[in-house]
Amino acid sequence: MTRTARYKPPAFVQVDVDGLWAVRACYDRPVGDAFERDPVWEEGVPAFQRLFAQLGLAASFFVVGRDLEVAAKREAARALADAGHEIANHSWSHTIGITRLPARELFEEVARTHAAICNAGLPTPVGFRAPGYDVDERVHAALRRLGYRYDASMLPTRVAPLLRLADAWLARRWRPGRRQFGCLAHARAPRVPYFPQREAIHRRDPAPRTSGLLELPVATIGPWRLPLTASLVFALGADRVIERLRHDLYRRRPILFLLHGIDLVDCRQPIVFGGRRSPIAGFDRSADEKQRALESVLRFLLEHHDVVRADQWVARYIPPPEGSR
């Protein structure tokens, strides 16, 4: 008698490659020479590539278009693609508050990176994430215009105001109206992949698949819907995060585990905040310490989920749009 294979819900591992220059800009710190001498690309990206090769998983790397102007970064992106990873779009300039831009500028943020990825000889991107999870109907319209298959910007968390407070504490400055971590309505968005309504993207389309664009929300855990990111792993510890993930297994819910390039950079030197180190988000930890914590969570996902590339999984549900670039 043969046993029926146990169903494993899909899991997507994704890395936002926010260069050190972009991280510093997020916290209103001087960029300095961090665009050319960027430890995120020099240390973090290769470390993730080695870790994923060791674990045997394929991930999605969301790149900022401006970084592809640097030859060494283009080569690193090609190495990722050659290793079997997806290269996706994370806007041109990593502007926090992309939805506040005029329509033409918003479209250019997506289109310029789309062109930069293609011009670098990389596969045509089909996935996008907005900086700071700042997404609205106009962003989705731009993605449809460019033939994208999925967006991964939705953050359905109930703690967005607390995350904005933590962000302000890190920056030592309160920035009113800053569009980051989504809006209040997004807390009610589905926690599983869904086809969004065109007029209200945090709601499921009652006529599925008519939009041609799938939303892959960042996974959240617990009653407060804490975002499943490396920062959460560093804050709570890998064991507590795994315990929560184990508790949620019965739901058979797809999971998007979000990482950032700086998560495997040695931050014992205060490379972001000048003369101080922050205990939040791993900004005070060594790369080895952070890798051990993340590897534990990744091994759990590999054991209990079908870890797949997002673009390949989405392709099962959405055929290439007509006229896609």
Rounded Cα gap, residues 280 and 231, in angstroms: 7
User: Model confidence over 64-88: pLDDT tens digits?
Assistant: 999 999 999 999 999 999 999 999 9
Number of domains in the chain: 1
- Provide the domain limits for residue 307: 10-314
Q: Determine phi and psi for 220, rounding to 5 degrees.
A: -130, 150
The tokens describing 307, both together, are: 């870890």
Residue 16, beta-bridge partner list: 62, 260
Q: What is the mean pLDDT of residues 129-144?
A: 96
Predicted local distance difference test score (pLDDT) of residue 324: 44
Rg of the Cα atoms in the chain:
19
Q: What is the pLDDT of residues 14-64, one digit of tens each?
A: 999 999 999 988 888 888 888 889 999 999 999 999 999 999 999 999 999
145-173 residues labelled b (16+ CB within 10 A) or e (exposed) = ebbbbbbbbbbbbbbbeebbebbbebeee
Handedness of CA 40, 43, 46, 47 (dihedral sign): negative
Q: pTM to 2 decimals?
A: 0.93
The total of other beta-carbon atoms located within 10 Å of residue 63's CB is 31
Residue 324 lies in a domain: no
Residue type, 132: G
Mean pLDDT confidence for 288-314: 97
pLDDT digits (tens, 9 = 90+) for 174-230: 666 667 888 889 999 999 999 999 999 999 998 765 668 999 999 999 999 999 999
DSSP classification of residue 258: E
The answer as to whether 2 is a domain residue is: no
Residue 195 lies in a domain: yes
CATH of the domain at 301: 3.20.20.370
User: Rounded to an integer, what is the distance from CA 37 to the centroid of its chain?
Assistant: 23
Residue 61 in any domain: the answer is yes
Query: Rounded CA gap, 290 and 227, in Å?
Result: 17
